[in-house]
Amino acid sequence: MKTTIEISDTLLEAARKVSRREKTTVRSLVEEGLRKVIAEREGSRNFRLRKATFKGNGLQSQVTGAAWDQIRGLIYEGHGA
């Protein structure tokens, strides 16, 4: 599809330099840029949870099979109300 856009002369010249250097077209640079901006704004980036593992021997015997309220009680034991 053809369309017309107005951009600054300096931006167009910079795009032309990049397109010559990379042996591509200004059109493909514009398309690439638009795709990146749209993907970023739509939140299409995949979220990656950082690795947060640690060495240990698994659950302590007192929490194996315990209910959450018991585990929470052990966590906060001696730390306030």
Q: Is the pLDDT of residue 51 over 80?
A: yes
- Looking at the predicted structure, is the pLDDT value of residue 46 above 80? no
Long-range Cβ contact pairs of 9-12 (< 8 A, separation 24 or more):
none
- For position 11, what pLDDT does the model report? 96
Asked whether the beta carbons of 43 and 54 are under 8 A apart, the reply is no
pLDDT-derived band at 42, boundaries 50, 70, 90: confident
Query: Which residues are CB-contacts of 66 (< 8 A; sequence separation ≥ 6)?
Result: 74
- Is 16 or 71 the better-scoring residue by pLDDT? 16
